[in-house]
Each structure stands twice: as structure tokens, then as C-alpha cells.
Structure 1
Amino acid sequence: MSWGAIARMGYVCLHSQDLTAAGDHAKSILGLTETLRTGNGIFLSSAARLHHELVYLDAPSNAVGHFGLVAADLNGLDSIRLRVREAGLRVVAETPLLPGVADGFSFEGPEGFVYEIYVDMLSQSYVPLPHRPERYGHINLHPKNPTAYAEFLVKILDFKISDVIGDGFGYFLRCNSEHHGIALITGRGTLHHHAWQVQSLVQLGELGDRLWEAGSRLLMGPVRHGESGRNIAAYYVEPTGAVVELYADMRHIYDDNAPVNHMSSATIDWATQWSKYDATEFRSHGVLPTTEIITSR
């Protein structure tokens, strides 16, 4: 279910200074399957069997390359092209940055984050790993100005606001019925985490076991989030410095005209209902957007 130009979240492209470590970690811990390896990139997907949902490109430093969003159709793609031009946003490329999609373009949004809007990604035939997630779900950004960022997502990309935390401290926005595809929490201008849907709490426990066996630990969780999705989630840090979330039982909003939910920033109930957590440590992780666009070769 979607109501506007964007149908769903597409993929995350990260720059990695250790491509092998990033790819191996995504396969062994997150459970993604490698679908393509190029001269400077690794493409991975979940049980969704897409050409890519997560991409790592070889780079001098860890950074966010860009985010992919799936247009509802060609009309949706064209409407966003027009809005981007009318808003005076910088177009990065008029054709797809990565292989595997039929048509698309990319542009620079607020605070340096680049978005590729595209249609018709190729599917892939493979047997997913037993501990794979079901699909890529959402991202959590920590922009310096979340209010301006939320306005961009609404006006340019047709997202709707599900929740507001405090007086502009945070926003959760959706492009379809899932409670949020992009979350915004006031910060230093980073991608905090990319998130992947699993079927149950059991898989979050198995994630903890895999991390322990690899000599690492969960960063936070499992927790039950409050009104910010009601999902059960667990988090860990990947080699790029970005945080990864696995989650289950996300709330869906089927009323296109549902009122915006307002939550207090004075408590952490919106973030966790099961336990306390060190917000300073949790929020210290993340990666900045790249200053140089890299394409696959």
C-alpha cells in the first residue's frame, strides 16, 4: 500500500574502507546472500531475492554512498524528477548509479545525503541462508535539522509523518503502510542504522548468539519500542561504523489520513519499554554521507 510517488524503501549503499570485512560480516552476521561482485563492489540481498538491498563500494573511508527508493511507477519517477528540479536540488546522475534497475536518477537531498529514485529492479534466483532477514525495512538518520529534513521527505518524496517526538526532536515517516521507512532523530548529520525485518523474537536471540560466537555483542536489545513502531528490535555495529537493526512485529498504519501521533521527548518510553539503555553510547555510532559519489565498475 502506498499513496504517492514512492512505493517502498529500496536499498542502502555504503562506502567501506575494508570491503572484504564488510561483505563477510553482512553474510555471516546479518545473513544476506551475495548476488554480485564487481571490481569495486559487493551486492547483497535477503530472502526478498532482489538484485541488491545492501551494497558496499570500496572507498578510502567509511561513508554513506546513497539510499535507493522505489518509485511507484514511471509517472512517480517523473513527478519526483520535476519536483527535484523545481526545488533546485542538485542532480547527481540522470541514469542509475548501480546495475540491476531499469531506470532511475539520483540527487542530493538535505545535509548531503544522496537518493536514487528508480523503477524495476531485477530479481535474483538463489537459496537464502537459514538465518537471513525477510527484507530491508528502514533507515534511521540523525540530521542536524530534523524538521527541515521531514519537510523535504513530505514535499519532495510524498512521505507521511507517523510520529513527532517533542518539539522537533524526532520524526518517524512512512511511504506505505509500514509505520516508518525513514526515522529522523536530532544528531550530528549521520546515518545511524539500517534495519531489516525478521519473522520473530527468536531470530533476535539467534543474532545475539552469532555475535557472541564471532567475539562481539549486541549494542542494544532485544527491546520493545513504544509508540515509535511497537516493534521488537536488536542492534549491533557493523564494520563501517553504521548500526544494523533486526526487527519484528512492526506496526502498520492503513489509514492514509491517520492523525500524526505526538510523543514526549522527556522520557525514553518511545524508544524502549523493556529496559533502560545508554542513549549516549547508542547514538555515538553512525556514518556521515560521502563527499564523492562512487559508482560500481
Structure 2
Amino acid sequence: MSNVKVFRLAYADFNVINAERMVEYYTNVMGYRISEEQRGVTYLSNGLDHHNIVITPAETKAVRRYGYQLDGKLSLEEVQKQLHVQGIASTLKSDAKPGISSNLEIKDPAGNILELFTEMEQPAVGFGTSGIVPLKLGHIAFYAKNFKETINFYRDALGFNFTDKIGESFANFLTCNSDHHVLNIVASNETRLHHIAFQLKDASHQYASSDVLTKNNIPVLWGPSRHTAGHNIATYHHDPDKNVVELFIDLDVFIPELGIFEPRPWHEELPLKPQIWESLSAWGTEFEMDLASV
């Protein structure tokens, strides 16, 4: 078993068709702040880190990189050696990204490029004063070819815990901390983003976020509704590049030592343990948009 341990999803780096529109969305609608602009690339901060979202102009939309922070118990050189033993190729880079002095670049079995690092500059630009202003970047969901191998990669190589599933193979939830999931790996014959998710503080914040979207002529696609896996109350909308964005509250808290989730009044059983769920919504609500087909 590897001693390599990721403890948070730090950033997503997007290839964007219309970078100007996407930067406007993240600043004016989402309430992020620009920490740096370099060679046409915009780095946006949730409030503390140098960046949590990176916007890179491109001819086609995609996620260029996902950034994960390691617990720091091993140096990047030691991490590289452990990954090598597992047959995982990696490249150690210096000053490849502003705010991060060095990182280790690897690729998961689905083809996603990951940047592992131990330290990021924290200029503490502060939370935005207008727009939605999430508490943090919460999780990523992506369609994955080789999805079983990809799940094992995150568990065995990077120290993720498996929590829930929806269906036998459709959605697979993993976490590297106490959040119910930091990753949702969706079985597919291709690899691409399913959605990116941001945590809000409470129900009033979620209601207000829908008002912000409406004022900016951005319709809510799905929700609010309480999910089964994770029990988060979620709404979904499209960003300017038609990526699906989730805004959520009430995500389950995982206790790996006990193999259960912290008890909540809305849980169907106590103690609640990881399981296979049959449906998406705990409320049984039906919506025009089926998130399984985005």
C-alpha cells in the first residue's frame, strides 16, 4: 500500500474557448478574485490560495489539469519513487505554475492529467464581495474510460477512500478527506468533465445563489433537490462554456475510522454506511434535465 496521501482538491485548470466570458463569469457571477494573469492565463482565487480556478484560452474546451495537495509527509521526490514502484510514470517540474514552486505531474488511467504538490502560496486575496462567493471548490465529477482501473488508481496510489455508488457502475464516489466525495467517477467509454461543484454555506446562501444566476440570465438546470449519495442539496447550471456547475450544501461527513457518515436527521438509517443507491434524488423529485446524460 502506498504512503502517498492526497488531502484536498485544490484547483481545476480549464481550457476555455472564450476566456474573457469565463473570467467574467468567475469574477462577476461566482465572486472569485483574480490573483494573477500571466501570458493570457488567468488565475482565480476562492479567497486564500493563489488559485483554485485557472482559465487557459484554447480552441476547444476541456480540463487541462486537476491540482491535488499532498499531506507533506513525503517529499515530491519520495512520492515519485513510490509511484514508480507502482508503475506510475511522473514528471517532477519546477515553477511550472505561478504560486507553486514544484509539482509532480502524473496521468490517471482515464487520461486526466494531475498535478500533485505540497505547498501553494496563500496571498489571501479575500472572499469576493459580490456574486455567489462559494466557501470552496468541493469536488469534481468526470466520465472515465477504464473507470474500474481509475477508481483503483485513486484508492491505491493516492489514498482515497471509496464511499457510495449509484447503481452497480454508474456513479462512484471517493474522498480524500472528511467530505462525502471529492471525486465522482462516472462509468463511460470516454473521459470528460461531468460537473464541477462548489460548496455554499447554508440554505439561504443557496437561494441567494439562484437569484444571482437569474440576474445574470443563467437558468438553473436541475434542483434544488437532496441527493441520495452524499445527501447534499444541489442545484446545477451551465458556465459560459456549457460545463455543468453544481452549487451544494449539507454534504455528508465521512468518518473513515468508523466506516460511517456523521448522523444527520435526514438519513434514512442510523448509522449510515457506504452503499449502492438506486436513484439520484432522495426526495423523489423529477426534473426536465437528466444529469446522467449531460
**What's the TM-score, normalizing by structure 1?**
0.85
Name the counterpart of 2:101.
102
Aligned residue for 1:222, secondary structure, equals strand
Between 1 and 2, higher relative CO (CA 8 Å, sep ≥ 6) is seen in: 1
Contact 1:5–1:77 (CA under 8 A) maintained in structure 2: no
Name the CA distance, whole Å, in 2 between partners of 1:148 and 1:40. 36
2:23 aligned with 1:13, yes or no? Answer: no
Aligned residue for 2:110, secondary structure, equals helix
Name the counterpart of 1:211.
213
Name the CA distance, whole Å, in 1 between partners of 2:80 and 2:186. 27
Name the CA distance, whole Å, in 1 between partners of 2:256 and 2:153. 22
Name the CA distance, whole Å, in 2 between partners of 1:185 and 1:73. 29
How far the C-alpha of 1:29 sits from its partner, in A, is 1.7
Name the counterpart of 2:72.
73
Please give the residue correspondences for 1:4-153 in structure 2 after superposition, counting only pairs within 5 Å: 5-47=5-47, 49-75=48-74, 77-95=76-94, 97-130=96-129, 131-153=132-154
User: Which amino acid is the alignment partner of residue 32 of structure 1?
Assistant: Y
Name the CA distance, whole Å, in 2 between partners of 1:42 and 1:172. 30
Matching residue within 221, 224, 227 for 2:226: 224
Change (3 A) 1:100 1:62: same
Name the CA distance, whole Å, in 2 between partners of 1:200 and 1:264. 25
Runs of 5+ in structure 1 lacking a partner?
Answer: 286-297
Contact 1:22–1:56 (CA under 8 A) maintained in structure 2: yes
2:265 aligned with 1:263, yes or no? Answer: no
Contact 1:62–1:240 (CA under 8 A) maintained in structure 2: yes
Name the counterpart of 1:159.
160
Change (3 A) 1:253 1:81: same
Change (3 A) 1:263 1:248: same
Aligned residue for 1:97, secondary structure, equals strand
How far the C-alpha of 1:191 sits from its partner, in A, is 1.2
Change (3 A) 1:59 1:80: same
Contact 2:4–2:82 (CA under 8 A) maintained in structure 1: no
Change (3 A) 1:34 1:108: same
Change (3 A) 1:175 1:4: farther
Aligned residue for 1:151, secondary structure, equals helix
Q: Which moved more, 1:169-178 or 1:122-131?
A: 122-131
**Amino-acid identity (%):** 23
Name the CA distance, whole Å, in 1 between partners of 2:78 and 2:172. 24
| Count of paired positions | 277
Name the CA distance, whole Å, in 1 between partners of 2:256 and 2:91. 35
Name the CA distance, whole Å, in 2 between partners of 1:254 and 1:225. 19
**What's the TM-score, normalizing by structure 2?**
0.86
Runs of 5+ in structure 2 lacking a partner?
Answer: 261-272
Name the CA distance, whole Å, in 2 between partners of 1:61 and 1:242. 12
Cα deviation code 1:172-225 (max 9, x no counterpart)? 101011111111122342111111111012222222222222222012111111
Cα deviation code 1:241-292 (max 9, x no counterpart)? 3211111121111233516622144xx2x44425213454x3444xxxxxxx
